[in-house]
Amino acid sequence: MFFQQRTIYYVFHRFVNDLPPSNEKNVLAQLLSFYGADLVTKYIGIYYQGGYFQNKAHAELYHDGILALLPVLKHEAISLIDAIAPTDFILNSPLGMSDGNVSVCMCNCKNIV
């Protein structure tokens, strides 16, 4: 499992580094840092067994990094989801309509069904 997650990280890292400087690249780099720190903390026992971590200060550094990135990524969560998720037109969902008339769209969908 670790190899697949490392491969995903590697491909994502290459993709982010190949992007031109922009706000999107900054957000994706923060997401990449979060994913990498999460992987390290998930397999922290392996790092201790391998001698890469000698004391708990190394683990605390990754935990602190994750906690520092959470409020930053929280503000970007909607834009990240909008960038990845299929559009509401494809899903035929009235809940995500950008016109602000969700109740009207829900009633229209109810009448169709």
Name which of 69, 108, 82 is nearest 24 in CA terms: 82
For residue 39, the enclosing domain spans 2-86
Model pLDDT, residue 35: 93
> For residue range 44-91, what is the model confidence (pLDDT) as tens digits?
888 888 888 888 888 899 999 999 999 998 888 877 776 676 666 666
State the pLDDT at residue 68.
Answer: 93
Q: Is the pLDDT score of 113 beyond 50?
A: no
Q: What pTM does this model have?
A: 0.69
Residue 59 is predicted with a pLDDT of 87
Domain contains 21: yes
- Is 2 exposed, middle or buried, given 0-12, 13-18 or 19+ CB atoms closer than 10 A? exposed
Q: How many domains does the chain have?
A: 1
Whichever domain contains 53, its CATH number is 1.20.140.10
**Residue 54 belongs to some domain of the structure:** yes
Whether 103 is in a domain gets the answer: no
